[in-house]
Amino acid sequence: MQLAQTADSIDRANRLLIAGIALAGAGLIVVSPVAPTQPNVQHRAVQLTAGEQDLTQVLATAQDNLTTLESEAATANSDLSSAISTELSGFETQISTALTGAETGLQNSIDGGWFGDDDGFVFGLFGGSVTDPDTGVTETGSTLQEITTALDQGNLLNAFSYFDTWSLETVDHTLFPLLSPLVTEFNDDTGVTTLSIPDQLLQTFTNEYTSFVSYSDLKALLNAVSSPELSVAFGLSADLDGIATDVSSGNIDQALTDIGNLPSDLTGDLLNGWTDPAAGSEAFTGLLNGGSLLEELLVTLPEQFVTALG
């Protein structure tokens, strides 16, 4: 009977002791600030004795990681801007060439003309001088005058023929250059092939789709999204295991220290990732270190976009 009473007393004392440790730990967590920080930090196998020192290390490592991330993101953004600028300048050149060609064709239709093996000399509506490139012969005339002369002679067929030839040449020399960026594939004198703008856009879309929509890329993105919360969860579990070990071994001072370090530990896990002390390698990334979601969004994806643009 006396032994049973003694065991009950010890059990009550242990429960009171654990409750006191929990209350003290909660107080330490409230007073310890949880400040946001930056990239690639590792969770140390040996905790520092002071929570303030631990948080300082977390912030310092996070600052280093953020500096690295900012530098890489700036480079990726510069590469992306250059690639997009190059792509758009190519479209701009094609459109500018098309407008210039259409303007020249319209000008020749009004005051100029053309020479072709099929139609011979075709003059502008109000006149123009046209040279045969093979013979060097130059003739001057006016489509309107040709039509008027044919009508005066009562030759309606010739009058219509002059108008028909002029209108077809006008359409050919204005609409063709105007529509060429949209519907043709052009080979210049050097043998360089220029695809139409829709062809280029479709090719770009295909390249981007091939570059981004792959199992490995989707898996990396999913890992980056889920890793910060997993890092915190595993880090918290490891810290609680350590605290439980301290309490069970009667090391109350170390237990209180570990509880005080929880805010800085979890902040480091969230920002800089969690490393399994036993494995000695980073198990999950945080928000700022290598392989993080921010690195995926600010560095990896822009560089993939640049690569796909070629």
pLDDT in tens, 264-298: 889 998 998 888 777 666 578 899 988 888 998 89
The model's confidence at residue 145, banded by pLDDT at 50, 70 and 90, is very high
The two three-digit tokens of residue 300, written as one number: 């990896």
Q: Distance between alpha carbon 114 and the CA centroid of its chain, in Å? A: 49
Question: What pLDDT sits at residue 282?
Answer: 59
Q: Yes or no: say if 178 and 95 are a contact pair by the CB < 8 Å rule.
A: no
Residue 50 has pLDDT above 50, yes or no: no
135 φ, ψ (degrees, to nearest 5): -100, -20
CA 21 – CA 24 distance, rounded (Å): 5
Residue 117 counted as domain residue = yes
Average pLDDT value over all residues in the chain: 79
pLDDT exceeds 50 at position 41? no
Position 67 scores a pLDDT of: 93
Query: Letter for the amino acid at 229?
Result: E
Which pLDDT does position 55 carry in this prediction? 84
Over residues 140-155, mean pLDDT: 95
291 occurs within a structural domain = no
Q: What is the mean pLDDT of residues 98-112?
A: 93
Q: 25-30: long-range contacts (C-beta < 8 A, 24 or more apart)?
A: 25/243, 25/255, 25/256, 25/259, 25/260, 25/262, 28/256, 28/259, 28/260, 29/259, 29/260, 29/262, 29/263
Residue 182 placed within a domain: yes
Kind and range of the H or E element at 187?
strand 186-187
Report the SS3 class of residue 48.
coil
Question: Residue 77 and residue 291: Cα distance in Å, rounded?
Answer: 18
- Nearest-angstrom CA–CA distance, 41 and 282: 9
* Cα radius of gyration (the chain): 39
pLDDT at 162: 94
The rounded percent of the chain whose pLDDT value lies above 90 is 36
pLDDT of residue 39 exceeding 50: no
User: Picking from 38-42, 133-137, 155-159, 247-251, which range would have the lowest pLDDT averaged per residue?
Assistant: 38-42
pLDDT score of 47 more than 60: no
Q: What is the total count of domains within the chain? A: 1
Q: What is the mean pLDDT of residues 107-111?
A: 94
Longest dimension (CA), the chain: 142
Does some domain include residue 130? yes
What pLDDT is attached to residue 114? 93
Q: Which residues contact 75 (CB under 8 A, 6 or more apart)?
A: 299
Look at residues 78, 45, 84, 106 and name the one whose alpha carbon lies nearest to residue 299.
Answer: 78
Give the C-alpha separation, 271 to 286, whole Å.
5
User: Does residue 181 lie in a domain region?
Assistant: yes
Between 19 and 90, where is the model more confident?
90
φ and ψ of 122, to 5 deg: -125, 115
207: left (phi over 0), alpha (psi -120 to 50) or beta: alpha
Residue 20 has pLDDT above 80, yes or no: no
Kindly state the percentage of the chain with pLDDT values over 70.
78
Q: How far apart are the two ends of the chain, measured CA to CA in Å?
A: 86
Q: Is the pLDDT of residue 64 over 80?
A: yes
Q: What is the domain extent for residue 165?
A: 95-190
pLDDT higher for 192 or 226?
Answer: 226
Quote the CA–CA distance of 264 and 48 in Å, as a whole number. 11
The answer to whether position 226 is within a domain reads: no
For residue 7, pLDDT beyond 60: no
When comparing pLDDT for 1 and 82, which is higher?
A: 82
Instruction: Kindly state whether residue 169 falls inside one of the protein's structural domains.
Output: yes
Q: Which residues contact 33 (CB under 8 A, 6 or more apart)?
A: 55, 263
Tens digits of residue pLDDT in 220-257: 888 888 889 998 998 899 889 989 998 999 999 988 98
User: Within a domain: residue 118?
Assistant: yes
